[in-house]
C-alpha cells in the first residue's frame, strides 16, 4: 500500500504534455506547492505539510517519473528537462485554480523549483530551495576527490543502458545508501517510510536515471542560456543548505546571490533530509519566506 500524508486528499491531474501527476492536497488559504527530492516521494513533506496546512492550501505532488505519478519514456531530452517538470507543476496548480503560488523544493524538486522561478516569474510568488545549488553551478563546484560525494550524478549521466542495469540490479542497496550517508538523524525516517521510498524508487529506476541524465545535458543548456542572458529570480528566495560551501570549497551564498537578488541564505545543522529531521525549523523558514 502506498503511504501518503495523513489527512490529505489524494488526487491525479494532468501536468505538461498530458502526463498525470499524483498529489496530496489539504488546507485552505494562499497556496504553497512542495516538491520532493531523491530518492523520495511527496511523503517526505508529511511533517512540514501538516504544519503549513493550518494557514495555507498545501499541494505536494510526486514529480513526473517518481512515486505514483506517470513515468513517460525518455524519448527525447526534453521529457525530463527541469523546464518540462516545472511546466508540470504550473499546469497542475492551475488545474486546482491557482494561477499564482509559492513554491518550495528539496533536492531534485528544488532544481525543478529553480527552473519554475526562472521560466514562470509571473506565477511563482515566493521560492524556497532546500540543499542544492543550480545545475550549472553544481557541475562547476564538483572537482577533485571532493566530487566523490556526487558519484551518482556521474553514473546517471552516462548513456542509456548501463546505469539503469547497474541500479536495477541492486536497487535497495543503491537507493538505501543515500539514506545512510545523508541523514544526520536516521530515526527521523521510520522503517515503513524508508521502505516506501525504496519501493517507489525501485519501481522508477528508468525515469529517475532519465531525470538525472537531463541534468547533465538539457538542463545545463537551459541554465547557461539564462546565465548568458543575465536572467535572475524575480521573487523573494530563501535557500537552506548544509554547509556544502565549506565542504566543497566554494561560496554557496555567493552562488545563489548571482541568481537571486532578493535572497535569504541560511545554513542548517540538520542533514540533507532536513524536512524530516527538522520540520519545525523548515516550516518556520517557509512561513518567514511567505511573509516577505
Q: Which residues are catalytic?
A: 107, 272
CA distances from 55 to 8, 45, 116 (A): 14, 16, 23
Positive or negative, the CA dihedral 105, 108, 113, 114 is positive
Cβ contacts of residue 179 below 8 Å, gap of 6+?
A: 39, 186, 189, 194, 197, 273
Q: Which of 215, 233, 261 is nearest to 82 (CA)?
A: 215
Neighbours of 175 (CB within 10 A): 24
Instruction: Check: CB of residue 263 under 8 Å from CB of residue 237.
Output: yes
Pairing of strands 101-106, 124-130: parallel
Three cell numbers, residue 23: 498529489
Q: Are 92 and 14 in contact (CB under 8 A)?
A: yes
Nearest to 41 by CA among 2, 12, 1, 80: 2
Amino acid at each position: 500500500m502506498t503511504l501518503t500524508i495523513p489527512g490529505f486528499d489524494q488526487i491525479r491531474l494532468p501536468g505538461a504534455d498530458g502526463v498525470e501527476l499524483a498529489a496530496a492536497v489539504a488546507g485552505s488559504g494562499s497556496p504553497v506547492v512542495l516538491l520532493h527530492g531523491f530518492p523520495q516521494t511527496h511523503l517526505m513533506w508529511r511533517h512540514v505539510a501538516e504544519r503549513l496546512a493550518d494557514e495555507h492550501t498545501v499541494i505536494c505532488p510526486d514529480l513526473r517519473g517518481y512515486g505514483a505519478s506517470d513515468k513517460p519514456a525518455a524519448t527525447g531530452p526534453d521529457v525530463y528537462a527541469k523546464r518540462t517538470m516545472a511546466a508540470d507543476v504550473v499546469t497542475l496548480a492551475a488545474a486546482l485554480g491557482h494561477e499564482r503560488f509559492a513554491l518550495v523544493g528539496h533536492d531534485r524538486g528544488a532544481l525543478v523549483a529553480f527552473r519554475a522561478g526562472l521560466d514562470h516569474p509571473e506565477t511563482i510568488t515566493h521560492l524556497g530551495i532546500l540543499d542544492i545549488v543550480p545545475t550549472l553551478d553544481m557541475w562547476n563546484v564538483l572537482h577533485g576527490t571532493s566530487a566523490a560525494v556526487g558519484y551518482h550524478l556521474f553514473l546517471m549521466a552516462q548513456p542509456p543502458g548501463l546505469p539503469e542495469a547497474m541500479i536495477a540490479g541492486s536497487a535497495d542497496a543503491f537507493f538505501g545508501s543515500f539514506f545512510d550517508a545523508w541523514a544526520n538523524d536516521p530515526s527521523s525516517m521510520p522503517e515503513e517510510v524508508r521502505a516506501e521510498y525504496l519501493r517507489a524508487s525501485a519501481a522508477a529506476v528508468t525515469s529517475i536515471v532519465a531525470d538525472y541524465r537531463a541534468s547533465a545535458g538539457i538542463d545545463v543548456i537551459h541554465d547557461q542560456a539564462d546565465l548568458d542572458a543575465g536572467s535572475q529570480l524575480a521573487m523573494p528566495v530563501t535557500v537552506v543548505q548544509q554547509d556544502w560551501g565549506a565542504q566543497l570549497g566554494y561560496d554557496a551564498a555567493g552562488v545563489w546571490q548571482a541568481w537571486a537578488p532578493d535572497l535569504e541564505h541560511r545554513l542548517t545543522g540538520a542533514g540533507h533530509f532536513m524536512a524530516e529531521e527538522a520540520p519545525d525549523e523548515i516550516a518556520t523558514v517557509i512561513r518567514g519566506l511567505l511573509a516577505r
